[in-house]
Amino acid sequence: MKIGDLVAFINESAPFQYQESYDNSGLITGNVNDEVNGVLCSLDCVEDVVEEAIEKDCNVILAHHPIVFGGLKSLTGSNYVERTVIKAIKNDIAIIAAHTNMDNVHTGVNKKIAEKIGLENLEILAPKNSILSKVVVFVPHDNVNDVREAMFRAGAGSIGEYDSCSYNLKGEGTFRAGEDADPHVGEIGTLHSEPETRVEVIVEKPRLGSVLTEMKKAHPYEEVAYDVYPLANEHQEVGSGMVGYLTQPVEAMSFLKSLKEKLQTELIRHTDIVSEKIEKVAICGGAGSFLLTDAIKKKADIFITGDYKYHQFFDADGKIIIADVGHFESEQFTAELFVELLRQNFSTFAIHLSKVNTNPISYL
Ligand SMILES: [Zn+2]
């Protein structure tokens, strides 16, 4: 197993194209052609984590937060970012970051938090609406199955729990082949009508390239007639935050107390208890204040996240309880999520959970 294969696997699980524009998820240091000896999973990648990787004989660190975020202009070791990168490179350690791409998939960071809190019937809080396309292709009847299957294999037509979804309409295409053409049907210079099926499939952005490549390979025509329409539809399984239900309503204060235990946090900063009972819960690992209006719109009783500032707490405005559990605390289980994801799929290299507490904040 090469490091490049591991990066490709992570891209399959949480496509890097789903990361936010400000992010830097992906392979940060390391050579795609090196073999994977062992993977150390952590929330942050700092010098102590690189040290731990060396001790555990792991040449890959899979971290949630990218150690290089805003770019590097020099590598002199003058700060912790540069020192971490230098140490990783000197020791042939690859650093992979799966950050907002892992936040934005329905099997990612927030799913793990929901699992810890015990939420059911989960939905994405703010689904994204710019990642679906419709591909329409016109295929002679005899080749429809082959072309459709090729597109399905490349990931087209998968919607929620369904795969192989397509719409097919029979019609007629016309064309006239030029002097230098090599037409599959019809004659050069003569207007030809061919019975064709219009095949429509939905494709997610990260799969569009391979769907089009496979579609063209399976299509018999020299010049394939096809359209790609960007869709404004939301993708229900990709986006920020999550909302779900407790198995039964719980008295607000006892919910907050149990939350403290479940999320292993020393401190919860919260606004007024405006609902007696908590049943519908919105969550966002890390800094989630940008999702407050979505949480209110979804009628959540409480919004659990991190990194809230003083003035932002006023925005609860009697409509919801904001509970800031801490950035690290809300996302600490992401490393566990990485371990589970890798162990479910690989058995040829060691997979370790980091023991380093990378939280830079202490409570007095
Ligand atoms: Zn974070």
CA-to-CA distance for 343 and 348, rounded, in angstroms? 10
Whether residue 45 contacts residue 67, with contact meaning beta carbons closer than 8 Å, is answered with yes
Task: Using the predicted structure, report yes or no on whether residue 15 has a pLDDT greater than 90.
Answer: yes
The alpha carbon of 86 and the centre of ligand 1 are apart by a number of angstroms equal to 23
The alpha carbon of 62 and the centre of ligand 1 are apart by a number of angstroms equal to 14
Sign of CA dihedral 289, 246, 363, 316: positive
SS (H, E, C) 261-294: HHCCCCCCEECCCCCCEEEEEEEEEEECHHHHHH
Whether residue 41 contacts residue 339, with contact meaning beta carbons closer than 8 Å, is answered with yes
Q: Can you tell me the mean pLDDT for 254-270?
A: 97
Q: Can you tell me the mean pLDDT for 326-355?
A: 97
Averaged pLDDT of the chain: 97
* Degrees to nearest 5, angle at CA 217 with 214 and 218: 90
**Which residues have a beta carbon within 5 Å of ligand 1, which is an ion?**
286, 331
Q: Can you tell me the mean pLDDT for 228-234?
A: 97
Indicate the pLDDT class of residue 297, thresholds 50, 70 and 90.
very high
Placement of tokens 């500032």 in the chain: 309
Q: Can you tell me the mean pLDDT for 99-121?
A: 97
Q: What does the pLDDT read at residue 116?
A: 97
For 125, the token pair is 């809080």
Listing DSSP states for 150-180 in one string gives HHHHTTTT-BTTB-S--EEEEEEEEEEB-TT
Convert the pLDDT of each residue in 195-227 to its tens digit.
999 999 999 999 999 999 999 999 999 999 999
Q: What does the pLDDT read at residue 23?
A: 97
CA-to-CA distance for 209 and 85, rounded, in angstroms? 32
Indicate the pLDDT class of residue 278, thresholds 50, 70 and 90.
very high
The alpha carbon of 307 and the centre of ligand 1 are apart by a number of angstroms equal to 9
Share of the chain above pLDDT 90, in %: 98
Indicate the pLDDT class of residue 267, thresholds 50, 70 and 90.
very high
Q: Can you tell me the mean pLDDT for 287-293?
A: 98
Q: What does the pLDDT read at residue 45?
A: 98
The mean-pLDDT minimum among 37-41, 71-75, 110-114, 300-304 falls in 71-75
Task: Using the predicted structure, report yes or no on whether residue 333 has a pLDDT greater than 90.
Answer: yes
Look at residues 71, 123, 77, 69 and name the one whose alpha carbon lies nearest to residue 97: 69
Convert the pLDDT of each residue in 162-172 to its tens digit.
999 999 999 99
> Which secondary-structure segment (H or E) carries 245?
strand 235-251
The alpha carbon of 153 and the centre of ligand 1 are apart by a number of angstroms equal to 34
Indicate the pLDDT class of residue 307, thresholds 50, 70 and 90.
very high
Task: Using the predicted structure, report yes or no on whether residue 298 has a pLDDT greater than 90.
Answer: yes
Convert the pLDDT of each residue in 179-189 to its tens digit.
999 999 999 99
Tell me the H-state helices in the chain. Answer: 3-13, 47-55, 80-90, 100-103, 109-117, 144-153, 205-218, 252-262, 292-297, 310-313, 327-331, 334-345
CA-to-CA distance for 230 and 205, rounded, in angstroms? 9
For 219, the token pair is 């299509």
Q: What does the pLDDT read at residue 147?
A: 98
The alpha carbon of 97 and the centre of ligand 1 are apart by a number of angstroms equal to 11
Q: Can you tell me the mean pLDDT for 232-255?
A: 97
Placement of tokens 């020791």 in the chain: 91
The alpha carbon of 291 and the centre of ligand 1 are apart by a number of angstroms equal to 15
Share of the chain above pLDDT 70, in %: 100
CA-to-CA distance for 134 and 124, rounded, in angstroms? 22
Q: Can you tell me the mean pLDDT for 304-327?
A: 98
Q: What does the pLDDT read at residue 161?
A: 86
Whether residue 38 contacts residue 59, with contact meaning beta carbons closer than 8 Å, is answered with yes
The alpha carbon of 350 and the centre of ligand 1 are apart by a number of angstroms equal to 25
The alpha carbon of 205 and the centre of ligand 1 are apart by a number of angstroms equal to 24
Task: Using the predicted structure, report yes or no on whether residue 160 has a pLDDT greater than 90.
Answer: no
CA-to-CA distance for 61 and 192, rounded, in angstroms? 59
The alpha carbon of 65 and the centre of ligand 1 are apart by a number of angstroms equal to 6
The alpha carbon of 330 and the centre of ligand 1 are apart by a number of angstroms equal to 8
CA-to-CA distance for 312 and 316, rounded, in angstroms? 8
